[in-house]
Structure 1
Amino acid sequence: MLGVSFLLTVAAAAQVILATPVARSTYSVKETHHVPRGWTQKGRAPKSQMLAFQIGVKQGDFAELERQLYEVSDPSHPRYGQHLSHEQVNEIVKPKDEALDLVHEWLLSNGVNAFDYSPSKDWINIKISIEDAERLLDTEYSTYVHVDGTEAPRTTKWSLPLHLHEHIDTIQPTTSFMRIKKNAVDYVLSDNKVYIPADYKPPTDQTLARVCTINGTTPECFKTLYKTLGYKPKALSKNKIAFNNFLGEVPIRPDAKLFLEKYEPSAVSGAQEFKFISIDGGPQQDGNLTADQLAEGTSREANLDVQTILGMTYPMSVIAYTTGGEPPQIPDAATGDPPGNEPYLAWVTYVLKQEDLPQVVSTSYGDDEQTVPIAFAKRVCSDFAQLGARGVSLLFSSGDGGAGDIAGNHAELCISNDGKNTTKFLASFPASCPYVTTVGATQGFQPEVAAYRPANSLGPDGKLHGYYASGSGFSEYFSRPKYQDSAVQGYLEKIGSLHKGLYNTAGRGYPDISAQGLYFEYFWNATNGIISGTSASAPLMSSVIALVNDDLISWGKSPLGFLNPWLYQKGYKGFTDILGGGNGGCNTTGFPVTKDWDAVTGFGTPIFPEIVKLAK
């Protein structure tokens, strides 16, 4: 939670309200949400347990924010690149006075008199016991246990006074069972045997062949493949790239130093220069991994991200956001800390308060869309839109389970959380949010193809390993945005009735673009290894976009900001169309790779010089 502030003026006004009671509406159910697969009810939650409540007050005019977001992100619009300021965004989305007054009255009349706000006051944060929360929301909390042993206090239904339904969009933690996961696989040593696809052929181009091998890719390979080799960042005082760390992940400086000494010696000092920003008690660490971290395998993801970004962008400024909490989590009884919420909201609430923002943020985490109540997902997504309006490019990894199945190629897991056990390709969130750019994975070099490893393939340690494919899908929550109407409709016409009924043909399709995602060289615990997944693709693609921004800013131009309108209108011409590779998911053939945009690789992989030309 952020620091708590006492609203003395509102509290004083409440004395008048409470002294003269006003008739208000009765309670009625605001939201219900089925318990997702993998969770079981253990019993009533302890009444004294504390919760960190986040109350989403209806935004003043999100439609206006969206309109302006698309104007400043549309290369054919006169306002293209004229990103909004911190104050302009807050003014547009701040709730109406009536909404805030009524919510305050409700909270104060229930004994809640300490609040903290988001920058535009569209989120109100409070700390509250389960006993008080049950009274406030006319609900009952139970302790739910996940198959991995995690416990969390949640409810399946909560209510509000009827007159507040139109003024409050969502309150969490209530019905959200989201458990974000890192989109990375293959934590192995690079001298072990790797699975090589049967149809893989080494590059015929001698320059590529010299630096790129499927046994372990490096920054030199990426720079050569995507043609950033030789580019030197110039806008060092103005251009920044950042990446997110959740679940206790923290990039380890000594490992980054070892990686750069071996694979990008000119960037070695970057291992000490990148900046930590801690949010909600997120970890910061300058030394080696601790014994607990080693036992838990912590920081493989964080090391992959920082090493990839430094290897590609040095000496650009790099920020490592570390957000505390592992949602859902058990409170620390010794400190009295309440269970954390989904960290995307904690992160975006913090970042939206800042005047100075990085132009690109990479995030390599996600979970089943259906584990997040739709109202909460839409509010978090709308907060991402605020960052886009301010000129920030948000890139998220698409997942590693192919067609809507981030848990692996198991049909029995592809069950919709609709209470009817409907078989579905499960979309991933935040990858499905229309205000972010979602990145899929490729492998091979000449040509690149969609990343795909069939189930029971011989893995890096000489054992049979599981299925891995570039995550893809269509949202059940978010309708297809106009910017991708033509591309996605063309794709749907190509695939016809394939997998009819397993996905939402009217939903936002993803990924938007792709980058390498197989066998990245990296260091963890002072040991050279390889790691795969769209967790690798996201920071790699983010690095290329950050270099494009560097060139634009050095010419006095605006950064790309929210990429998708530009990407679908003209930017796609600067990407290599991927025409091969597999997908699968839910024990199906998955989505096919086709010419032009497809729901496996999007528009394909970057060609840096071409993107720069198209962006100017």
Structure 2
Amino acid sequence: MRLFSTLFSLTLAVSAVALPTTDHVVHERRTSTPSRWEKTARVNGTEQVLVRIGLAQSNLDHAYEYLMSVSDSVSPNYGKFWTSDEVISTFAPSDETVAAVESWLVNAGVAKSRLVHTKNQGWIVFESTATEAESLLRTKYYQYTDKLTGSKAIAAEEYRVPQTIQKHIDFVKPGVLLPIPSKDRSAKRTRKFKPTRQASANASSLSTCDEMITPACVAALYKIPHSSPNVSANNSLGIFEEGDYYSQEDLNLFFANFTPYIPQGTHPKPAFIDGAEAPVPVADAGAESDLDFQLAYPIIYPQTITLFQTDDYNYASGEIETDGFFNTFLDAVDGSYCTYCAYGECGDDPNLDPVYPDNSTGGYTGQLMCGVYKPTNVISVSYGGQESDLPAYYQQRQCNEFLKLGLQGTSILFASGDDGVAGPAGDDTANGCLGNGTIFSPAFPNRFSCPYVTNVGATKLYPNHTIADGESSVVDPVGHPYSVAYSSGGGFSNIYTIPDYQAAAVAEYFKNHNPPYPYYEGNASFGKNGGVYNRLGRGYPDVAANGDNIAEFWEGEFILDGGTSASTPIFSSVINRIIEKRIAAGKGPLGFLNPVLYRNAHALNDITNGSNPGCGTEGFYTAPGWDPVSGLGTPNFPKLLDVFMGLP
């Protein structure tokens, strides 16, 4: 319940009534204090504080409209992607906003010479005494102490700004927010077991795909043809990795046994971020990284793969504990994100994200990397967490960044998670569910319920089913065959509402296949009347692909593995192949995929068998059309190619 008890108690009082004796109105108010924090004393009036005024960005209310304009196939602007400079200038605070806030501060007695307008244009900053800041903001500052760590923070319970200025301000620091305390990272769970069959004996067979998914099975399931030997140098598939590292020896073993047409030594192009390194010796190999590359290469080769490996070992391994995720990656592919302000967050969060230089032993001692790599046309991300793991404002700022990347033509795909309608056991409750252990826990970042990425669920071939029989959603109870239960993540967000592009699909699901569970409508009614999911939330996943019994070499041995971590690089590779065809025809990348996918559900293989259990329920059920288990379905390469080749 952390998200709801410590975040959604923060309310923006945008329609507050002005105080009788002033034109100031409440801008932010905290109605409760997180249990870890104790208010200890008033701040001494002479204490120096750095006041940071976060300026309201321009055109955020039009951001979704801009993205749909270049992403929806019925738009005359489809495929006319923006440059990075166009994105930055469009969303920068307006001259009117800067002038209005500066005028307010100067008239209140803050000399203009004290004001600093930051390089990224998002802040106006000045040093002040606590007394001056309290007078300016009609507030009182208090010292707070973290009862577990002893760390200190300054915060107010509410503050006010002039009513005429309110529209120009996003937030103020110090303000009402208290740092979010770190919590232990959930251990990455691997779902692997050693099969009884040998790899080489079944490398090209389609008769045993229900027992072992090989590159031949993937190609047959989704009708993926052999790749052309002539490929574009500008269409490398991007794959994100964090705290998990591939072994070249494992890749070579896989190529030798399953794809001898891929030369030994083939490896991803390094795009190492903030001290990251790879590969590692085979004994230290990560099952996740090995899996991603061993699934992607057979589909895209001779296209290349770019490895976005993030963070030095101290942070990536969890030796230095952080809860934040993806921000250092986003910094590296978009320099403006390093200082980008939105939803009360500006730049990386020192309480949640890695801080560089890292002066710990073996740490990366360089500066935070900002804008050093160009994002690839497609980026596959098999990592994530739960919405309740991180503050809503942190996730919303990241979600906006994925929108900005979509505007520039990048397609981003995320895994939906492996716990059905729940989160990892022990995350929020013993069973990984919210509230009293009965409320479904949406995944982040789909693990993103963010509506500006494509979320990928998992399917499988059930025992004794052939490729012709079709796939079902993954439902693997404990011990069958993995040591932990596994089902495809899916459900409805507690942060984001249903986007227009999927509204009809979600409405059809509710109308024709209504889930048998009570629900609530929006965060304000979280858990009301026994509701276990948000009826008004963005539905996920969007699509699916096979994610069970995947043939893999890991630590020098042949195993079978699974997870939506497998589904995501499969679907991402299909999209990268399609972009390759478009480039050869003089066309460009695809950007945000969802509007086109939802308009062309016929181009996917509909999954109508299975569910995604969790939280003491059978979860949601698959159904004809979109469903919150398998989305629109799995890729049909020829049909998807026809759809996307028919677009500008």
TM over 0.5: yes
What are the ranges of 5 or more consecutive residues in structure 2 without an aligned counterpart? Answer: 1-21, 40-51, 126-139, 336-370, 462-466, 520-531
Match of 1:253 among 231, 248, 251: 248
Deviation string 1:576-599 (CA, Å, 9 cap, x unpaired) is 001112321101011011111111
2:588 aligned partner: 558
1:265 aligns with 2:260: yes
Deviation string 1:68-87 (CA, Å, 9 cap, x unpaired) is 21011010111111111111
Give TM-score, length-normalised by structure 1: 0.75
Deviation string 1:198-251 (CA, Å, 9 cap, x unpaired) is xxxxxxxx99963652332222221121111323264422212111112x2222
Compared CA separation, residues 234 and 508, structure 1 to 2 (3 A): farther
Name whichever of 217-226 and 542-551 sits farther off: 217-226
1:78 aligned partner: 76
Q: Is the 8 A contact 2:438 2:616 kept in 1?
A: no
1:140 aligns with 2:162: no
SS at match of 2:423: coil
SS at match of 2:191: strand
1:440 aligned partner: 457
2:193 aligned partner: 188
Distance 1:539 1:268 in 2: 20
2:379 aligned partner: 361
Aligned length: 532
Deviation string 1:394-446 (CA, Å, 9 cap, x unpaired) is 100001111243438998545546xxx58411111111000000000000043
Distance 1:399 1:528 in 2: 24
Distance 1:65 1:606 in 2: 29
1:592 aligned partner: 621
1:312 aligns with 2:299: yes
Alignment of 1:117-132 (within 5 A): none
Q: Is the 8 A contact 2:433 2:615 kept in 1?
A: no
1:604 aligned partner: 633
Q: CA offset at residue 65 of structure 1?
A: 2.9
What letter corresponds to residue 232 of structure 1 in structure 2?
A: S
What letter corresponds to residue 281 of structure 2 in structure 1?
A: N
Match of 1:288 among 281, 286, 296: 281
What letter corresponds to residue 194 of structure 2 in structure 1?
A: L
Name whichever of 77-86 and 509-518 sits farther off: 77-86
Q: CA offset at residue 503 of structure 1?
A: 0.7
Name whichever of 157-166 and 589-598 sits farther off: 157-166
Distance 2:70 2:150 in 1: 41
SS at match of 2:375: coil
1:95 aligns with 2:93: yes
2:366 aligned partner: none
Compared CA separation, residues 415 and 523, structure 1 to 2 (3 A): closer
Q: Is the 8 A contact 2:185 2:318 kept in 1?
A: no
1:498 aligns with 2:496: no
Q: Is the 8 A contact 1:178 1:327 kept in 2?
A: no
What letter corresponds to residue 239 of structure 2 in structure 1?
A: F
1:539 aligns with 2:580: no
Q: CA offset at residue 328 of structure 1?
A: 10
1:476 aligns with 2:476: no
Deviation string 1:514-546 (CA, Å, 9 cap, x unpaired) is 000002122222222221110111111111111
Q: Percent identity, aligned pairs only? A: 28
Compared CA separation, residues 458 and 68, structure 1 to 2 (3 A): closer
SS at match of 1:476: strand
Q: Is the 8 A contact 1:328 1:340 kept in 2?
A: no
Match of 2:506 among 485, 488, 497: 488
Q: Which has the larger Rg?
A: 2
Q: Is the 8 A contact 1:208 1:224 kept in 2?
A: no
What are the ranges of 5 or more consecutive residues in structure 1 without an aligned counterpart? Answer: 1-22, 45-53, 126-135, 145-150, 194-205, 333-338
Match of 1:276 among 270, 281, 289: 270
SS at match of 2:250: helix
Q: Is the 8 A contact 2:333 2:374 kept in 1?
A: no
Distance 2:262 2:644 in 1: 27
Q: Is the 8 A contact 1:359 1:559 kept in 2?
A: yes
Q: CA offset at residue 284 of structure 1?
A: 1.2
Deviation string 1:548-593 (CA, Å, 9 cap, x unpaired) is 11111111112221001111112x2111001112321101011011
Compared CA separation, residues 42 and 173, structure 1 to 2 (3 A): closer
2:579 aligned partner: 549
Distance 1:383 1:216 in 2: 38
Q: Is the 8 A contact 1:401 1:409 kept in 2?
A: no
Compared CA separation, residues 27 and 481, structure 1 to 2 (3 A): closer
What letter corresponds to residue 273 of structure 2 in structure 1?
A: I
2:542 aligned partner: 512
Q: Is the 8 A contact 1:241 1:546 kept in 2?
A: yes
Q: CA offset at residue 491 of structure 1?
A: 0.4
2:3 aligned partner: none
Q: CA offset at residue 341 of structure 1?
A: 6.1
What letter corresponds to residue 363 of structure 1 in structure 2?
A: V
